[in-house]
C-alpha cells in the first residue's frame, strides 16, 4: 500500500473515531512533512462551539504549533473530504504543497454538508450577496495600512 493511501486511511480513521465520540461532523485530516505525520485534525464545530473548527483548520493549527511557524511550505494535507471554501483558503494561506482528499463535496452535500451556497456567493458583487455588506471608509483605517507599509520591523507573510 502506498504511503499516500496510508495517510488517507489515517485521516478517515480520525474522522470516524471523533465523529463517534461526538466531537463534530465526520471529517478528519493529517498533515505530513518528510513522510511523517506532524499533526492531526478533526471537526470540532459542535463540541467547541466554533464554526471554523473544521478538520483541515484544526490540523493546520496543530501543525503550525508543532513546527513553530505560520508557513507550512514542504507539507501536504490528507483530508477525508474535499475542503470547503474556508478550509481551501486556509490551506492556501498556510502554503501547503499538496491536497489529497477522498470524499467529494458532492458526497458531503448528500449527507447534509452542502457548501454550494458559499461557492455561489464568492464570485458575486458585494451588493448581490445574501449577507448585506456595507463599506465604511475611514481615513484612520487607511493610516494603519500606511503605518504597516512603512513599518521596518514587520514580518511578511
Q: Exactly one of 56, 76, 121, 134 is catalytic; name it.
A: 56
Of residues 79, 23, 16, the one with CA closest to residue 49: 23
| Residue 56 annotated as catalytic | yes
Q: Are 42 and 27 in contact (CB under 8 A)?
A: yes
Of residues 8, 5, 106, the one with CA closest to residue 55: 8
Q: Are 117 and 111 in contact (CB under 8 A)?
A: no
Residues with a known catalytic role: 56
Amino acid at each position: 500500500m502506498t504511503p499516500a493511501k496510508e495517510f488517507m486511511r489515517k485521516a478517515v480513521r480520525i474522522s470516524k473515531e471523533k465523529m463517534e465520540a461526538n466531537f463534530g461532523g465526520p471529517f478528519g485530516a493529517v498533515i505530513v512533512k518528510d513522510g511523517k505525520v506532524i499533526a492531526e485534525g478533526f471537526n470540532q464545530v459542535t463540541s467547541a462551539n466554533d464554526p471554523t473548527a473544521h478538520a483541515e483548520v484544526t490540523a493546520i493549527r496543530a501543525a503550525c504549533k508543532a513546527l513553530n511557524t505560520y508557513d507550512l511550505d514542504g507539507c501536504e494535507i490528507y483530508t477525508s473530504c474535499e475542503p470547503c471554501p474556508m478550509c481551501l483558503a486556509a490551506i492556501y494561506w498556510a502554503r501547503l504543497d499538496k491536497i489529497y482528499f477522498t470524499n467529494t463535496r458532492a458526497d458531503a452535500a448528500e449527507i447534509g454538508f452542502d457548501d454550494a451556497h458559499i461557492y455561489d456567493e464568492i464570485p458575486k458583487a458585494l451588493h448581490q450577496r445574501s449577507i448585506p455588506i456595507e463599506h465604511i471608509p475611514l481615513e484612520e483605517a487607511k493610516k494603519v495600512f500606511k503605518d504597516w507599509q512603512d513599518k521596518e520591523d514587520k514580518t511578511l507573510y
